[in-house]
Amino acid sequence: MRSIDTIIKGASELHLADDGKLVIFSDLHKGDGNADDDFARNRNVYLHALSYYWSEDYIYVELGDGDDIWKARNYSAIKDVYPQIMDLRSKFQSAGRLHEFAGNHDIEKLDANWRAENGYPGTEILEGMHLHYGGHTFLLIHGHQADFFDSSIWKVMRWVNYYPNRLLELLGMASFSWVAKNYTKRNFIERKLIAWAHENNTTIIAGHTHKPTLAPDERYFNSGSGVHPNGVTCLEFEGGSVKLCLWQKSVRSNGDMCIAKRVIKSADLRQVES
């Protein structure tokens, strides 16, 4: 895929020490609080998780589509709806612990003029990064680069999402264009990314499809999304291992409500062939 080949030439490098800690979220799709804001139901779950990673000194990577600018054209509305989350992200940024990517739903962030006009705090928005950790090198991308519609003609898809698609969602009907809800398209994109990873002898970490995946043998990881009906998924790098985690609402043995983390799958990178 030519777009990925182009991205990796100018991709930044991040070297994480063996005792370093890093977490990757993607596809939060923060909106403006309207009926089609799928992130709203998970706002407190995500805020709790992000607070944990802040207090535990994790580096935070947001792998694209953190905001859904295709739906919420007015970025200030997103800031107004999620002030606590924005404040916490600012703390990560001020501490030099934030690396933010652009996805297809917030690709406007790559435009310095858009960032200036909207008072966006991101100073550097990434498309690709090489992560070096535990004797392995990973290529971080959002993943829409493998999708012709969401990369080459993203402005057309933005129109589709903002008008007919948003109308359907506001009426309580299913969206028809999201790759996360189109399994044939999602599987096609995954196969393309996996094939590219094998051809280039690297492991890809992506988002975009919303399907959380930890498959070292296939050289493919995916952080999932923040809009799952049952919680928020992420990838944790810590202690030489990578874990696919789900944060969700739960109930303690005494009946009290809480927010808990569940490890879905883990892999010891020291036992994985580089």
Q: Looking at the chain, how many residues does it have?
A: 274
Which amino acid type is present at position 245?
Answer: C
Residue ranges of the chain whose pLDDT lies below 50: 152-154, 159, 163, 171, 176-177
**pTM score, whole prediction:** 0.89
**Tokens linked to 245:** 């985690």
The edge-to-edge listing of strands for the beta sheet with 136-140 is: 12-15, 129-133, 136-140, 203-206, 220-222, 213-215
22-72 tens-digit pLDDT: 999 999 999 999 888 999 999 999 999 999 999 999 999 999 999 999 888
> Which pLDDT score is estimated for 271?
79
Chain-centre distance for alpha carbon 188: 19
Q: What's the confidence (pLDDT) of residue 35?
A: 81
Of the candidates 41, 28, 26, 34, the one whose C-alpha atom is nearest the C-alpha of residue 162 is 34
Q: Is 220 helix (H, G, I), strand (E, B) or coil?
A: strand
Distance (Å, rounded) from C-alpha 54 to C-alpha 90? 11
CB atoms under 10 Å from CB of 182, counted, come to: 15
Cα–Cα distance for residue pair 181/58, rounded to 1 Å: 31
Please give the pLDDT value at position 163.
Answer: 45
pLDDT in the model for residue 5? 87
**Residue 235, token pair as written in the block:** 């990838």
Secondary structure of residue 116 in the 3-state scheme: helix
What was the pLDDT predicted at 180? 58
